[in-house]
Structure 1
Amino acid sequence: MAAGLATASATAVRHGRPAGRRRLAREVARTVVRLGPTFIKAAQVLGTRRDVVPAWLCDELSVLQDDVPPMSVAQGRTALREVYGDQVDEVFAAVEETPVASGSIACVYRATLPDGGTVALKLRRSGIGPQMAADLALLRRGAALVARLPMFRGVPVREVVDNLCDSVLGQVDLGREGRDLGRLREDLGSVPRVLVPRVHPGASRPAAIVMDFIPDLAVDTAAQCSRAMRRTFAASTLTVVYQMLFINGFVHCDLHPGNLYFTRGGQVVVLDAGFSVQLSERMRELFADFFLNMSIGRGDRCAAIVLESAIGVSEDANVPAFTDGVKDLVARSYKLSAKEFSLIAFAGELFDLQRRHGVAASPELVFPLLSLLVVEGTVRALDPDIDFQETAKPVLNRALFGIR
């Protein structure tokens, strides 16, 4: 592994920076895959942190897939017994033995309740919790060593890794995810055409979530719908994210295809709340203020919000240069048409300004942006002409002017 990384670094010298970066990023990704599911999950989260990790590496890490085969029939039975013990037959009338979906942490099975209701059973893999906890403890120790290196002075290495580890462990705690999914269902209940499956708390456990089974979900449904329906999907998806960001402050940060579906009946379906964060009331208001000022071209206020919420400003930080850079960025973005404006490009340049000028952004400010970056590609594919900033204004007005 070390030899591969060294070779990639040498390529950067021999063939120029772009080629070397691509080779190094691919080698890092391959190394992460060999280290196993815990490190893949951690790398996926790290790939979202464009405020501290270069974009060329984020691009490679954020698309990593934990290609883990589903549990075998025997493994599924073992996991089911570990979670429910002798109560399996009391909780379920039947559980299908072949999963309908699979990930590194859990598999999803179709099951039937005693009253005949069809449900989805998300069942944690046996032994995955202790394994991931041990792997993440190693990662924290490694971060403590890296933080001491001179080249990382002023970079919040420990804070980033602690946040990353908490995010991964949060996906292992299915009891917490079940509660978070229930919270999302309540928060988004007022948004038209949005469906979050109902959780069955009595049948759920810390290592299992039982929720309504939603049939016929497919990632290509929207592509088969009319243009008008796709535009409705795009507006509804953005409204979901803005409702979470600006009104409720409880944010699903991982609405990629697989967690976000569309139905032929025109509904947006939100699944898998494992990577969700609660914004403080202060940060919810600051982010709403940031987005509103970004949409009306007030770069000075946007810079002040980032500085106000920062977890650290290095001793050699150039605050005036950072402020001027943000003002210029907002001014240029404000003048772009809806089709030309890119949140990913905006966030990438903002994070680059932070890194260059020694301003460490709060994760609470980064994660809201992350939730928007994750859905931008999906929304643009549905409606290339959608205006992210105009669509936000009605929700921003409710958030900032007192109608909750």
Structure 2
Amino acid sequence: MAENGVESEGTQKRAGAKDKQNGNYADSSLRERKQQDREERLALVLWKRPLQTLQYSFLETLITLKEWTLKLWKRRGTVFLLLVLLSLFSMAYSVEGAHQKYIQYMEKKFLWCAYWVGLGILSSVGLGTGLHTFLLYLGPHIASVTLAAYECGSVNFPEPPYPDQIVCPNEVAQGGITLWTIISKVRLEACMWGAGTAIGELPPYFMARAARLSGAEPDDEDYEEFEEMLGQAETAQDFATRAKLAVQNMVQRVGFFGILACASIPNPLFDLAGITCGHFLVPFWTFFGATLIGKAIIKMHIQKLFVIITFSKHIVEQMVSLLGAVPGFGPSLQKPFQQYLEAQRLKLHHRAGEGTPAGENWLSWVFEKVVLIMVCYFIISIINSMAQSYAKRTQQKKYCEEKTK
């Protein structure tokens, strides 16, 4: 009997060890399969599989539009109220009267603010794959206003053509140009752009929050990277990993002020802060409030000051003179820069309706082509992302079907 009991106990242990081995094997097999699926998704790009990528991107667009339509239908009361307000505004816009000047002013300001908010959203949305609209639009705009302010001796540019075109005013402002004067001139554009970047940080937050509330484990590269970093030791040797861990710890431990600190400085790792806040169910207004204050006020003033100081008249002249001192190719680079600056000064002193001076040089041509290339890359990245999202959707559907069998 004793021997049978010992044998039975040994058999149970061996069976338990075998089940454990089978479980580990199954987990390993599942991880390998997910890794293969991830590699297959990443290979779904226009330059490798153009037809399949376009097909998947189109199907994902249709599914997304369907989901948005269903969400709007669930909130049809709010949609109906917005439609009523839009109809009233359209009536006020079309009816002639003394109120038209106020309507036109509101329309102009709204479109101007919406333009910069949209550019801000494009800059930060997409977990680091957004369009760098600060370098393409806001930075050059601030630089143009700065150069024009020192050249004209005023920031009271006539409207129109400002902001589409900067023309020096007939009268020079009293007191001259100061740093604060230029900051005040571009404050609205900069703050709206910063608010747009804060809105663009919401998708990672909602993604991680929804995953935590549902108890699901999404097969997402950024989310999995986040989970791995949470489990890593603080003695990690890789600098990038240590920096990411520092962001996670600051946001998790300090809360509002930690989010504010991360959002107030140029930080390419802030997307991970959004995932952290969503994962730990940080309240929405705590996350968005700190992000909005940090990006639209603190960080925006830091970037704005940097651009204004860099493009101040005396600093630009010193940079051009130093460029000519570079041996070899320095003078050949100095000449087109001087021609470009001179062309911009001539444009500033032309009145509206007089035409624009000729003499666009290769710097303007190069900048236009750089902008075009970056916009094309952004569109291609959107198509690739939509196609990979649809592939991920089909793979998850297969996993669910296999579990139900």
**TM-score, normalised on structure 2?**
0.26
Q: RCO (CA 8 Å, sep 6+): is it higher in 1 or 2?
A: 2
**TM-score, normalised on structure 1?**
0.26
